[in-house]
Amino acid sequence: MTIKTIPLPMRSTKETREYAQAVEKGLDSYFVVQNGKGWYVRKASLRSGNGTLFPNKEAAVDQAKKLSSKRNSEYLIFDNTGTLISRKTNTA
Amino acid sequence: MAFIISADDIKKNLPGYDPKHSDVLHRESARLADKEFEKALKSRQEIKVILMSGGTASGKTEYISAYLKNRNVIIFDGTLPSFEGAKIKCAKVAKSGKSIEVHAVMPISLQKAFIAFLNRDRKFPPEHFFRTHSACRKTLLEIAREMPAVTVRVFFSESIISKDQIDTKFTELSIPNRGVLIEYLEQNQYTENELKQMQGLL
C-alpha cells in the first residue's frame, strides 16, 4: 500500500524540542540484550540484528561499560523477555 | 485556548508523585482524568472534542503543543488503549451534543520513539511502551471499522537531529476514504512481542 502524507507547517515548541533532545540523548546509549545465542551488545541507534555477540552476560556488560564510557552515555540491560533489568550511567 | 485533560499532568499533582516511577500513580490519575473529562463535557463551552490516540512517547503531547493548544477544543490526551473505553467516551461526547474527532499520533520510527521513551523525565517500565503501542493501534482500527461517524486523523511524528536543528516535525496521513484508513491500520498492527522484536529485545 502506498501512502501519501501531507507535511504540517513546522511549529517548534518546548515540548517538540525536548522530545527530540530525549532521542538525541539516547542515541549513544547501548543495549545489552539476552537471546537464545547469548548476550548481544548494540548501540541503541543501530537496527536490531546489528551488534556483537558475547558468550556470557559479564563479557557483554564489560563491553557495554567500555563503549558507553567513551561516549559519556549509559547502558541498559534487558533479559530474554525484553524486560529492563538495569540501567547504568557511564560507570567505567 | 484548548482545554486539555491529561492523566500524566494530573499525576504530577498527586501526593507521592515521582517521575522516576511514573507508573505507580497511573491507574489513579487515569480515573481522575476520566472524571474530569465527564465534568468538562457538561460544563465547558467548547463544541468540539479531540480524543488523542497513540502509544506512550509517540509524540502526542508534542503534537498538541504545536497544533492544538490554541484551538477552542476539549482534548483528552491519553493513549486510547481500549475500544470499550473509546466507545464510552464517544457516547458521552455524543450525549453532550459536541462533535468528536480522534487524532492518532504514530512515530515514523518506533526505534526512536523507544529511545525517547527511555530518556525522558517520566519513567515507565518498557512493557508500558510495548503495551500502549500495540493496544492503541488495535483500538484505532476498531474505531475505524465500527464507528464510521467518528472522524479519525492520523499524524506521524519524526524527530530531526542535525547540527542546525533538534526538533520534532509532523505529517498527516492523507485519507481519501475510510477504506484507505482501515487498510493502512490493518497493515500497521503489532503485537507486544512483535514490537519487542523490532527493538531487538526478543
pLDDT at B202: 81
CA nearest B143: which of B193, B191, B82?
Answer: B82
Helical pair B178-187 and B126-146, crossing angle rounded to 10 deg: 150
Assigned domain for A12 exists: no
* pLDDT value at A92 more than 70: no
Is position A18 within any domain? no
Least Cα distance to A76 among A46, A65, A66 occurs for A65
SS3 B116: helix
B interface with A, Cβ–Cβ < 8 A, is 57, 59, 61-62, 64-67, 111-112, 115-116, 118-120, 125-127, 130, 155-157, 159-161, 166-174, 183-184, 187, 196-202
Cβ(B195)–Cβ(B134) below 8 Å: yes
Within a domain: A22: no
pLDDT value for A46: 85
Q: How far is A37 from chain B (nearest CA, A)?
A: 11
Q: Please, where are the H alpha helices in B44-106? A: 60-63, 83-96
Structural domain includes residue A3: no
How many domains does chain B fold into? Answer: 1
Residue of A36, A44, A35 whose CA lies nearest to A76:
A44
Instruction: Residue B153: name the closest of B71, B66, B82, B63 by CA.
Output: B63
Mutate to test the interface with A, among B157, B170, B201 (most CBs of A within 10 A): B201
Residue A74 maps to a domain: yes
SS3 B51: strand
Residue numbers of the domain that contains B92:
3-198
pLDDT digits (tens, 9 = 90+) for A33-86: 988 788 999 999 887 777 899 999 999 999 999 999 998 999 999 998 888 999
Residue A71 lies in a domain: yes
Would you say A5 and A18 are in contact if contact means Cβ atoms under 8 Å apart? no
CA distance A68 to chain B (A): 15
Does residue A82 belong to any structural domain of this protein? yes
- Comparing CB atoms, the residue among A13, A20, A25 nearest residue B66 is A13
Residue with cell 481522575: B32
Q: Which residues of A touch B174 (CB under 8 A)?
A: 3-6
- Residue B186 has a CB neighbour count (10 Å cut-off) of 13
CB contact under 8 A, A33 and B200: yes
Question: To probe the interface with B, which of A16, A32, A33 has the most B CB atoms within 10 Å?
Answer: A16
Cβ-based burial of B174 (10 A; exposed 0-12, middle 13-18, buried ≥19): exposed
CATH of the domain at B76: 3.40.50
Per-residue pLDDT of chain B (202 residues; tens, 9 = 90+): 999 999 989 999 988 888 887 777 888 899 999 999 999 999 999 999 999 999 999 999 999 999 999 999 999 999 999 999 999 999 999 999 999 999 999 999 999 999 999 998 878 889 999 999 999 999 999 999 999 999 999 999 999 999 999 999 999 999 999 999 999 999 999 999 999 999 888 8
Total tally of structural domains belonging to chain A: 1
Report in angstroms the alpha-carbon separations of A74 from A5, A64, B111, B113: 36, 8, 17, 17
Q: What is the pTM of this model?
A: 0.94
Local confidence band at A7 (pLDDT 50, 70, 90 cut-offs) = very high
Enumerate the residues of chain A whose CB falls inside 8 A of the CB of residue B188.
none
A43 within domain boundaries: yes
Does the structure show a pLDDT above 70 at A91? no
Q: Tell me which residue range forms the domain holding A48.
A: 29-89
